[in-house]
Amino acid sequence: MGSTEAVQAATAGAGESASGNGAGNAATAGRPADRRLLINGELIDTGRTFPSLNPATGDVLGYAPDAEVADAEAAVAAARKAFDTAEWATDVDLRIRCLEQFHQALIDHRDELGQLTTDEVGATPALLAGAQLDQPVAIVKYYADLLKTYSMTEDLGNIESRGMQHHRWVEKEAAGVVAAIIAYNYPNQLALAKLAPALAAGCTVVLKAAPDAPLITLALGELIANHTDIPAGVVNVLSGADPAVGAVLTTDPDVDMVTFTGSTPTGRRIMAAASDTLKRVFLELGGKSAAIVLDDADFQTAAVFSAFSMVTHAGQGCALTSRLLVPKSHHDEIVELVKANFSFVRYGDPNDPKTYMGPLISEKQRDKVDAMVQRAVAAGATLVTGGEKKGPGYFYTPTLLTNVDPDAEIAQEEVFGPVLAVIAYDDDDDAVRIANNSIYGLSGAIFGGEERALAMARRIRTGTFSINGGNYFSPDAPFGGYKQSGIGREMGEAGLEEFQERKTFATVVPQADKEGAA
């Protein structure tokens, strides 16, 4: 893999053509930045900026500092020094205190962060109360509390070898310097779900903002610099339109681990770039999840779930169930219910409390979504409703497609827009087969009798699953995928352990201790 490919991989957003607000616009010399980079404890303006757009209007929202390769190298060097020489990796009490300070700063600045998240990614008030802000803030508190009870050692007891007793134990140590690269769609969730467990584990971090949504991530760095005792170099935050910045994070030998959230094609390239130095890699990637409606389900409940979850954040979510599998005998009935629910979706100004669906992140992403819908129709799918661009801003109407072949592009590829593909199945085995007919395995849902639904859910190869509308998403629940939806788990104790190494110790038990124990 050449350096140019590695660079492009490291800076892509959640979709292959997602970048359009930041990365697609040239940097501007001399224009003041609205936020600052955080490098080695200092808030820095590079003197070069690039714009971030408001996706609801298409207007420039503000300007982010445009980091260069030297800035990325300085951030990695600062993180390396902090890990190797500061007390951060070994002082659990310091980490607890700093995480609690960070959590309080996030609470105190909730209104500012919420407005910025609405303006930069189109998050509605309902989403701010959930996965766009309040739930991510809770992740920081979760890991601060977890550290108070989590054991960093594991006793393995004694074994006899060579006529002597040997005592063994395991100590859990920080993995080292972490490069964290995030997508644009849920910037607070993605940043905090990486920062909090990495910091709790004792790692130092270089966090790279998505080019389409840099300002909110930079704001998190400013809170850390201004309101916590986190030592210089432990957290570094970068933004940049130059893809060369990302290459440093995936290839620099001083980086021990890369954690990335984004598209599967990009994840493959990041994994390849990190392989030269055998970095640990955590990948939270794409999905093409299926919701199955059984013939004994409450069809209205299933239709409401399928319609409104698909248009959550304009469909810009990797775990959304973008395939709806329905029994052939009830196909038309369920389609009509979903269509009716789509008609109730209010889209528009994300500042309006009555708005359910905001815009797509960029014109480029909207064009990609529209092109996939048009190709699906040309391939034989039926457009039941939607398929329209709306403005100002980058809105796309909730779109329902039927007569979708399970092997068609629209049924196999991640759209990252408010597009639901309906696929008819013959029986339970056929439904499971279609659901598993994907390179992805991130999530899924099923509606029907509890016992039957659970038995089918266990046959589907995904990392998370909702039964009859159950919500699995919370700070204590591991989240991640099977197959090409990723490697590893975020959140929960599993999320902390992604950022740990385990060192096994053994010592000879003195003879006196053996006799005393006897």
Q: What angle do CA 373, 378, 383 make, to 5 degrees?
A: 50
Q: How far is CA 212 from CA 51, 114, 360, 409, in A?
A: 9, 17, 11, 26
- According to DSSP, the residues that pair with 507 across neighbouring strands are 167
Pick the closest to residue 172 from 140, 201, 203, 143 (CA basis): 201
- What is the SS3 string spanning 198-210? HHHHCCEEEEECC
Q: Which amino acid is at 70?
A: A
φ/ψ of 421, rounded to 5, equals: -105, 120
Pick the closest to residue 137 from 216, 231, 237, 238 (CA basis): 216
Dist. CA 249–CA 490, nearest whole Å = 20
Distance of CA 3 to the CA centre of its chain: 25
Dist. CA 479–CA 373, nearest whole Å = 29
- 88 contacts: CB under 8 Å, gap ≥ 6: 82, 94, 95, 202, 204, 230, 231, 234
- 140 contacts: CB under 8 Å, gap ≥ 6: 99, 102, 103, 106, 192, 195, 196
Q: What dihedral do alpha carbons 63, 68, 71, 76 form, nearest 10°?
A: 110
Q: Which residues are catalytic?
A: 284, 318
Dist. CA 426–CA 428, nearest whole Å = 7
| Alpha helices, DSSP H, located in 12-152 | 69-85, 92-108, 110-121, 125-128, 134-147
Q: Are 202 and 172 in contact (CB under 8 A)?
A: no
Pick the closest to residue 161 from 451, 507, 515 (CA basis): 507
Strand, coil or helix: what is 156?
A: strand
Residue whose structure tokens are 């209010």? 346
β-pairing, 440-441 vs 482-483, is antiparallel
Q: Are 230 and 200 in contact (CB under 8 A)?
A: no
